[in-house]
Structure 1
Amino acid sequence: MKKTLLCTAIAFICTAFAFSQSSEVMSEIIDSEKATCAQISYLPALYANKITEDDSSKSIGVMPASKEGPSPTKESFEALKAEDFFASDDEADSAATVAKISYVYMKALGIKGGLFYTLFPSPRYAFKELKARGILPVETDPSMTISGRESLDLFSSCLEIVGGNE
């Protein structure tokens, strides 16, 4: 019961902030065993206005069936990479670590961190900040990879932080 309620809440929150994203894109993210850099950048890029809903809907038809053209997730990854959300050697299809996901979400959502995150904004201190706030479990390792569904859960938890500060 809790799992169904949690999945429903995640789906509702995600759709509230990205109204016209493709169900194909969201399904791809949810179904992935390991979240990629491109997948974790989709909702933050929409939220931070790095891509528009029109940009993401132009390439929807190309997404899962054909990997040849630009996809909304890869376009969002390139937009965030140009804004230094990712390191220069990060690839769109590489698995995203929890530390990297934490950094992208905190930076895109404008979440204020502690002293060290403020002085040295990096994946390491973003991870430590989310762990200190209780969003990440104590046993989580910064180099772990998580599933697409877990990355959406983390995004919705970060949105709750933003909602509490406004």
Structure 2
Amino acid sequence: MKKLFLILICLSIGTLIFAQSAEKVDEILDSKNLTRGQACYLVGTAIGEVKEADSYQTAFDKFKGLKMFENKKHDEPIRFDEFSNLALQYSSIKHGLWYSIAKNPHYAFRQLKIMKMIPQKTVPSSNITPFTAINLLAKIMPKADR
């Protein structure tokens, strides 16, 4: 099981590595929890909105218009439901009815949980780890970016 998990992580990282410099990815993976700026950097580079050389602050500023980021800072840890919302907005997954209407973190998290992309025991308000975030992005990013 450990070997399978390690292979999945390596494949997930490999799918995103072409879009980011190895230095930034290493820095992100060395963090205990993913910050809002790092999350915006990962999603932004995956969709082509953020350049490899951009800082986390610059990446965060590109997504700062989202309602969930109002009055937030780029260096604060991002919650699982917020990351789910950020990633789902730019994903290739067909959105469910409630998420299409509300576009908020609660329904994004709920949709990914129903689709079994998030483990059932995961708490929406918990902080997301970099490995989990990259693995989730590898599953839901647009096929053109894979």
Shorter-chain TM-score above 0.5 = yes
Counterparts of residues 27-106 of structure 1 (less than 5 Å): 27-51=26-50, 53=51, 56-57=52-53, 71=55, 73-82=56-65, 84=66, 86-106=68-88
**% identical equivalent positions:** 25
Task: Decide which of 8, 11, 21 is 1:9's aligned counterpart.
Answer: 11
Query: What letter is aligned with 1:10?
Result: S
- Matches of 1:128 and 1:112 in 2, distance apart? 14
- Matches of 1:112 and 1:85 in 2, distance apart? 21
Instruction: Report the 3-state secondary structure (helix = DSSP H, G, I; strand = E; otherwise coil) of the residue aligned with 2:93.
Output: coil
- Matches of 1:101 and 1:112 in 2, distance apart? 17
Gaps of 5+ in 2: none
Could you tell me the TM-score, scaled by structure 1's length? 0.77
Root mean square deviation of aligned Cα: 1.7
- Matches of 1:86 and 1:78 in 2, distance apart? 13
Q: Greater relative contact order: 1 or 2 (C-alpha under 8 angstroms, separation 6 or more)?
A: 2
- Matches of 1:113 and 1:7 in 2, distance apart? 25
- Matches of 1:95 and 1:116 in 2, distance apart? 26
Gaps of 5+ in 1: 60-70
Matching of residue 132 in structure 1 with residue 134 in structure 2? no
Deviations 1:12-54, CA, capped at 9 Å, x for gaps = 11124x1xx2212101111111111011111211233322x3x
- Matches of 1:48 and 1:80 in 2, distance apart? 12
Name the counterpart of 1:63: none
Q: Which has the larger radius of gyration?
A: 1
TM-superposed CA distance for 1:90, in Å, is 1.7
TM-superposed CA distance for 1:110, in Å, is 5.0
